[in-house]
Homo-oligomer: A and B are copies of this chain.
């Protein structure tokens, strides 16, 4: 702690360390991406969670909450919590599955499709802009890193403690 190195330099050193640490970078980068998404979706009056649901239901619906959560690699509670609001807005219809009474099937209404279509071109432009910043190969490489990182993140506390 009580080094003789000037404060300014210790700050710079620390900044370089933080910059080179993937674990430090991820939260900030994801937050920035999320904020950008929120700003873009605000134009169409959607939240991120709503947008994801509309898109997935449009492409793969009618669909259960469970399957939606799996598609989005997210906890089902996140979806479950937003549905009443989306239903009240008239975007989706919820109906109990006749074959399996535990499940709820989500389908889009015309208003839901309209809500989707308000946001979709904007989000498509975002992806187009993204592809101007990164080549096809770079994206593939990145996805591969994410695949492997997902595996790493499944390591349990014991796995980590047993390292080395």
Contacts and interface: CB of A to CB of B under 8 A. Distances in A.
Nearest to A153: B32
Interface string A106-137: 00100001000000001001111110111000
B23 A59 contact: no
Number of copies of this chain that the complex holds: 2
Contact of A152 (B13, B130, B139): B130
Contacts of A18: 56, 71-73
B13 A163 contact: no
Contacts of A20: 143
Give the contact-size bracket for chain A: 35 or more
A26 interface: yes
Interface of A: 1, 7, 10-11, 13-15, 17-37, 39-40, 43, 52, 56, 58-63, 67, 70-74, 108, 113, 122, 125-130, 132-134, 138-139, 141-143, 145-146, 148-157, 159-161, 163-164
